[in-house]
Amino acid sequence: MPPTTAVSASSSFTLFRVPSSWSTKLKPTTTYIQIPNRFFPKHPTFKMTTTTIRAAVSIEKETPETERPPTFLRESDDKESSSSSASSVRARFEKMIRDAQDSVCQAIEKTDGGGKFKEDVWSRPGGGGGISRVLQDGAIWEKAGVNVSVVYGVMPPEAYRAAKAAASDEKPGPIPFFAAGISSVLHPKNPFAPTLHFNYRYFETDAPKDTPGAPRQWWFGGGTDLTPAYIFEEDVKHFHSTQKSACDKFDPTFYPRFKKWCDDYFYIKHRGERRGLGGLFFDDLNDYDQEMLLSFATECANSVIPAYIPIIEKRKDTPFTDQHKAWQQLRRGRYVEFNLVYDRGTTFGLKTGGRIESILVSLPLTARWEYDHNPKEGSEEWKLLDACINPKEWI
């Protein structure tokens, strides 16, 4: 989840294992980065295994800042934004995620009626930075985190040459990359009010002009998904209908495609069940017009409030029992399991020295694990579990 600092929960960074066939090209003690699933140009002889190995890649330590800057872009990017379409996308995506952070935080505070977000601003020596906002133990939300980041980094040249199946006499230097994203997880107190996660990100390689065989590449990723402890079909239908409306403005195939992708991604393999009731998820998206995908990501981010807040308004004051709360805590345990075991952004951040408070902001304040707990068949708890095991078409 994302996404977010680019190394925080639910972002799109992944480590990959070096195949044995690359042993003469890549150092076995070095960790290379896959960002995201298809960071490198597709090539018939190139395959990756998304598994975690010892981290030798590190992220520069952040520097706390007292004020939010107007932009986290490097000065060169900022100057180029008026003349370069690629840099312009960087600037407009940063503006979009910062606007989305503001609007979501304002909506959360207004609905909560008492809680306020704590804000931390940070920068990195090599460029970029982020804003982490967390509302904790409010009237409605147990924990709500909304993070944005802009990060600059470098990809090892050996990995790029191997990925491109480049000739051994080509000697490209390190390949710079740029990543920006927003990531949020919202955990309400009331067990009848659902948790929400959303994450939207943009990524580019930005190869130097003297780097042979390394053109600039880009893609978008993200999604929004709902994780309730109890099913209210009208709530789930409202959520999915809002997501579908956002998709249908651009391509009628998006919703069914990204809904299935979401069901498949948020799968807890060791439990044989999904984390929640799905929504949208997409990654490595670059086979459409760049301007269209920027608009699509913006539309998705702007759909978060109308998709979610009406559900919270309806359920936040519903009376509940200790049994209801205990079931919510068990489902929160599943949330923790997915994020710490499978989420690519979380595992990358933990292994590369990212900002730990931002990385773990997705975790709830409280969760529960009971030994061999099985809800009674036909109960409301069982209905939720059944929907997590057998994904449904809600609309």
* Residue in the block written with tokens 């040249």: 157
Token pair recorded at residue 320 = 């509940």
With a CB cutoff of 8 Å and minimum separation 6, the contacts of 263 are 274, 278, 391
Q: How many CB atoms lie within 10 A of CB 243?
A: 28
The answer to whether the CB of 189 falls within 8 A of the CB of 317 is no
Give the number of other CB atoms < 10 A from CB of residue 172: 18
Q: Active-site positions?
A: 197
Q: Is 55 exposed, middle or buried (0-12, 13-18, 19+ CB in 10 A)?
A: middle
With 0-12 / 13-18 / 19 or more C-beta atoms within 10 angstroms meaning exposed / middle / buried, residue 323 is exposed
Determine the Cα–Cα distance for residues 368 and 252; give it in Å rounded to an integer.
40
What b/e sequence results for 63-74 when a residue is b if at least 16 CB atoms lie within 10 Å of its CB, and e otherwise? eeeeeeeebbbb
> What is the C-alpha end-to-end distance of the chain, expressed in Å?
24
